[in-house]
């Protein structure tokens, strides 16, 4: 083996699960992570060891002879470690953490990945509440909150996650009918507008250098999920936040109409009470910062 440092225990655990299922997708479901995360961890482990552990093809995933030998030796050790840890977890008192997350962030970005945290910390109960996207304060009953602020509220502990960035999006058929001449949209271009950000399209037009039709029909909605669904159905063009809406783009139900991204004057912050947090709050906060914080 070419590596000289300590080999990642997480990588070995992921390897054993992938070896058991002979599928990165099934291993990801078992570990509550994405298949791409499984693939990345396996590649990192192979690099650390200087060995090829899997034979990969378009449809099949099979252990190499070296991989089979490693699995046979490592798997019992991983099971033994899990047994020891499980014995300690049984004695840990259960705690609850209450977090308030704005609706679209919760449904498209936070909740789909939350099982990663709950799988790692089964002793912590998570209570997720969603509240109106236009609210600008920390809900009094929440331990943590993920919200849009120009500046986080005083008397709170806050961490910047990332600025609100929005792209013009619509259905694939809507894009096919889009006509732009001399940086002006000359085709029918209904605007889907979020009631909390009525000037967003004008701001986008100015920053993108693309003129909107003067007589565009306007459809006003009060939730981002409704806006994205309206765009999906070809009703008009919507400003969709990224990376929150990335899954919609991957599925192809909506597409980017222009490459330009409007950076708004607000950002997503993780906010907590300005007091001594519980262990559960600290663990959830650290996990959120590790998984959702991005450079501006």
Q: What is the per-residue pLDDT for 2?
A: 43
Q: Which residues contact 71 (CB under 8 A, 6 or more apart)?
A: 15, 16, 19, 20, 63
Name 61's bridge partners: 56
Give the chain's residues under pLDDT 70.
1-6, 87-93, 131-138, 295-296
Q: What is the per-residue pLDDT for 1?
A: 42
Neighbours of 195 (CB within 10 A): 12
Q: What is the per-residue pLDDT for 60?
A: 81
Q: What is the per-residue pLDDT for 5?
A: 54
Three-class SS state of 95: strand
Pair 133, 264: CB distance under 8 Å:
no
Per-residue pLDDT tens for 89-133?
A: 655 567 899 999 988 999 999 999 999 999 999 889 999 988 664
Q: What is the per-residue pLDDT for 21?
A: 87
Cis bond before residue 243 (omega within 30° of 0): yes
Q: What is the per-residue pLDDT for 138?
A: 67
Which domains are present in the chain?
9-89 (1.10.10.10), 95-163+268-292 (3.40.190.10), 165-264 (3.40.190.10)
Give the count of alpha carbons within 13 A of 89, CB side only: 12
């Amino acid at each position: 083996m070419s590596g000289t440092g300590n080999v990642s225990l997480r990588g070995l655990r992921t390897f054993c699960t992938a070896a058991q299922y002979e599928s990165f997708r099934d291993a990801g479901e078992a570990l509550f992570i994405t298949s791409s995360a499984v693939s990345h961890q396996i590649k990192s482990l192979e690099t650390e060891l200087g060995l090829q552990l899997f034979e990969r093809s378009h449809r099949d995933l099979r252990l190499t002879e070296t991989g089979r030998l490693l699995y046979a030796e490592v798997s019992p050790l991983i099971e033994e470690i899990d047994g020891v840890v499980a014995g300690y977890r049984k004695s840990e008192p259960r705690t609850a953490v209450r977090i308030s997350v704005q609706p679209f962030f919760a449904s498209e970005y936070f909740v789909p990945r939350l099982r990663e945290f709950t799988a790692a910390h089964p002793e912590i109960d998570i209570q997720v509440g969603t509240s109106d996207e236009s609210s600008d304060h920390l809900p009094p009953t929440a331990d943590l909150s993920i919200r849009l602020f120009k500046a986080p509220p005083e008397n709170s502990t806050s961490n910047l996650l990332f600025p609100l960035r929005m792209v013009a999006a619509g259905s694939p058929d809507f894009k096919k009918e889009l006509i732009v001449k001399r940086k002006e949209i000359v085709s029918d271009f209904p605007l889907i507008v979020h009631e909390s950000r009525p000037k967003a399209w004008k701001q986008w037009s100015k920053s993108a250098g693309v003129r909107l039709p003067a007589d565009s029909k306007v459809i006003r909605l009060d939730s981002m999920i409704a806006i994205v669904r309206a765009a999906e159905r070809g009703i008009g063009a919507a400003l969709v936040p990224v990376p929150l809406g990335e899954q919609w783009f991957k599925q192809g139900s909506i597409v980017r109409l222009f490459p330009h991204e409007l950076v708004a004057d607000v950002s997503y912050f993780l906010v907590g009470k300005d007091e001594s947090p519980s262990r559960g709050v600290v663990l959830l906060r650290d996990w959120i910062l590790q998984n959702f914080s991005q450079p501006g």
